[in-house]
Structure 1
Amino acid sequence: MSGGWANSDRKSRLPSGWAKIRARILERDRICVLCGVRPSAFCDHIIAKADLNEDSDLQGVCGPCHDQKSAREGAAAAKAKGRPSRTRPPEQHPGLL
């Protein structure tokens, strides 16, 4: 993941046996379940923010697919929060003031 854990609280919410769970999922899903091409490198939660650490909610994915999925989920979360846009409103022409 490009941004790492910088903007995520996921690491603090993982169960104490996460290393074993992750290893089991990556063993089960050796090839990325999203693209079916590259080897799995990440143990991904299928349902974002659900904190379901059961095998049925976990999948092995490759780095590029994980980055894309995380970016989509982050964008959806930001949109749902209704953050203000980064664009300025159009300014009136000085001659019209």
Structure 2
Amino acid sequence: MSGGWQGSDRKARLPSNWQQIRARVLARDPVCKLCGVRPSTHCDHIEAKTDDHAEDRLQGVCATCHGLKSSREGNDAQRATPRPGRKRPPEEHPGLR
């Protein structure tokens, strides 16, 4: 699994009361909201790349599901980022020069 948010400054942007918010979300969602099987140990932003820390925009998830979701979101973000093309420009046919 690639580190979708590797190099992220996400933790630096969390509110000062993040630990209290996280505790309330995990108490509200004791079982992972994604798989519905394992206990929630991570607090996940439902919508990727948002700084909205309202509790209705957060969900309790297990470590496995959180890692998979974060990786998928990171990969989606990379795919959406334009990259320089690797194709060479078309060459004129030698007989048409």
TM-score normalised to structure 1 length: 0.79
Structure 2 unaligned segments of length 5 or more: list them.
88-97
Look at both structures and tell me which one has the larger radius of gyration over its CA atoms. 2
Could you say which residue in structure 2 is the equivalent of 1:95?
Answer: none
Amino acid of the structure 2 residue aligned with 1:47: E
Could you say which residue in structure 2 is the equivalent of 1:71?
Answer: 71
1:53-92, aligned counterparts within 5 Å?
53-83=53-83
Runs of at least 4 residues off by over 4 Å: none
Aligned residues: 86
Q: Distance in 1 between matches of 2:72 and 2:79?
A: 11
CA deviation after TM superposition for structure 1 residue 8, in Å: 1.4
Structure 1 unaligned segments of length 5 or more: list them.
90-97
CA deviation after TM superposition for structure 1 residue 83, in Å: 3.6
SS of residue matched to 1:23: helix
Could you say which residue in structure 1 is the equivalent of 2:17?
Answer: 17
SS of residue matched to 2:15: coil
Q: Distance in 1 between matches of 2:15 and 2:83?
A: 31
SS of residue matched to 2:60: strand
Change (3 A) 1:77 1:38: same
CA deviation after TM superposition for structure 1 residue 82, in Å: 2.3
SS of residue matched to 2:51: coil
Per-residue Cα deviation, 1:19-51 (whole angstroms, up to 9, x for no partner): 000000000000000000000010000011121
Q: Distance in 2 between matches of 1:18 and 1:73?
A: 22
Q: Which has the higher contact order (CA 8 A, sep 6+)?
A: 2
TM-score normalised to structure 2 length: 0.79
